[in-house]
Amino acid sequence: MRADRLVAVLLLMQARGRVTAAELAGELEVSVATARRDLEALSAAGVPVYPQAGRGGGWSLLGGARTDLTGLTANEAQALFLLAGPAAAVAPELRSALRKLLRALPQTFRADAEAAAAAVVIDPARWGERDRERPELVAALQRATVRRRKVRLGYEGRSRERSHRLVDPWGLVDKDDVWYLVAGTESGQRTFRVDRIVEAAVTDEPFERPEGFELSQAWGQVVDEMERRRSLVSATVLIAKRFLPVLRSHFGRHCETEGIEPDGRVRARVAAPMPRTIAEQLAGWGSLVEVVEPEQVRAELARIGAELVGRYR
């Protein structure tokens, strides 16, 4: 698109100070005539670019060249390419954007930026699995979010009961290969799992995001609430210190140490939605873990043990 090319022309001029139509043509892969027309179009639109005739001439920005790109420092440029570089391998649009950005960076930044883009490879597939493809519905919802258009959803909850509603798509979140839509509804902010959306029709009706809304902050609140629900019941356990890292990896953020017992074992607190859930997760540890309290978890472990003895006596 010509608009994209004109932006690229400006970025190159910011980085280099002075360019010729031939140089622009080579960088942007267009003809010299097209590059010259782009420069003239910028000038006609009021952008302060002007030609300088003669040997060593070219086109410059009024007031001299700028050696940075909207204030980017070397470290910021490296961080940007380090994060976006791996994703560019599977996203042609992002790859094209990074290529344009690289051309616009000051010469001293380019080598490190290129190295950062190639420093990390992301392989989303687990061992023995194929690459997981992004759900097709995500792209449609993403476009609606960017264009700020309401979406009519057909949604199935956990009970498989289907509902229909008109929502304002505020943003999308990818958490461990599960996509979520954060949206505004008549009842306020709601979160929808994309894999439970059975139909989605983007309308022509516009919407406005709430003033001050930030997706990262809104998602943080969703995570906090979900983690609170996942830790409604806690249990105190005793475990040998060498096994504590395994217990922590098992329960994640729902495992906290509380001290060391006289016999050297670690006192820890683990949490889950229900007593039965804690018991089921600890049953495989056998005698390596001792549950001190509550009695509900101890009773569930006894029940599981009795079932196993009855089956495998």
Could you tell me the CATH number of the domain that includes residue 288? 3.30.70
Same domain, 79 and 106: yes
For 259, the token pair is 């001290």
Please identify, among 13, 28, 61, the residue that sits at the C-terminal boundary of a domain: 61
Query: Which residue carries 């994209």 as its tokens?
Result: 4
Same domain, 22 and 49: yes
Q: Can you give the pLDDT at residue 9? A: 77
- pTM beyond 0.75: no
Same domain, 154 and 196: yes
Q: Can you give the pLDDT at residue 45? A: 67
- Kindly state the DSSP code that residue 210 receives in the 8-state scheme: P
Query: Which residue carries 């509550």 as its tokens?
Result: 294
Instruction: Tally the domains of the chain.
Output: 4
The Cα–Cα gap between 19 and 290 comes to 74
Same domain, 268 and 291: yes
Element (H, E) at 82: helix 74-88
Q: Is the pLDDT of residue 82 over 90?
A: no
Report for 37-51, 120-134, 256-270: range of highest mean pLDDT: 256-270
Same domain, 193 and 174: yes
Residue 33 maps to a domain: yes
Same domain, 155 and 198: yes
The Cα–Cα gap between 293 and 269 comes to 10
Which SS3 state, helix, strand or coil, does residue 281 take?
Answer: helix
Residue 224 maps to a domain: no
Are 132 and 124 in contact by the 8 Å Cβ rule? The answer is yes
The Cα–Cα gap between 156 and 151 comes to 16
Q: Can you give the pLDDT at residue 65? A: 40
Q: Is the pLDDT of residue 167 over 80?
A: yes
Same domain, 239 and 301: yes
Same domain, 183 and 151: yes
Residue 181 maps to a domain: yes
pLDDT-wise least confident of 123-137, 183-197, 261-275: 123-137
Residue 67 maps to a domain: no
Could you tell me the CATH number of the domain that includes residue 176? 2.30.30
Residue 266 maps to a domain: yes
Q: How confident is the model at residue 132 (pLDDT cuts 50, 70, 90)?
A: low
Same domain, 160 and 215: yes
Same domain, 181 and 148: yes
Residue 13 maps to a domain: yes
Same domain, 149 and 170: yes
Query: Which residue carries 């042609």 as its tokens?
Result: 92
Q: Which structural domain range is residue 140 located in? A: 136-219
Residue 127 maps to a domain: no
Residue 69 maps to a domain: no
User: Residue 95: which residues within 8 A CB-CB, separation 6 or more?
Assistant: 88, 89
Please identify, among 219, 245, 275, the residue that sits at the C-terminal boundary of a domain: 219
Q: How confident is the model at residue 36 (pLDDT cuts 50, 70, 90)?
A: confident
Percent of the chain with pLDDT over 70: 79
Which SS3 state, helix, strand or coil, does residue 73 take?
Answer: coil
Average pLDDT over residues 236-261: 93
Q: How many residues does the chain have?
A: 313
Could you tell me the CATH number of the domain that includes residue 46? 1.10.10.10
For 172, the token pair is 């999308």
Please identify, among 174, 193, 219, the residue that sits at the C-terminal boundary of a domain: 219
Same domain, 207 and 235: no
pLDDT-wise least confident of 21-35, 157-171, 241-255: 21-35
Are 157 and 196 in contact by the 8 Å Cβ rule? The answer is yes
Pairing of strands 233-239, 197-206: unpaired
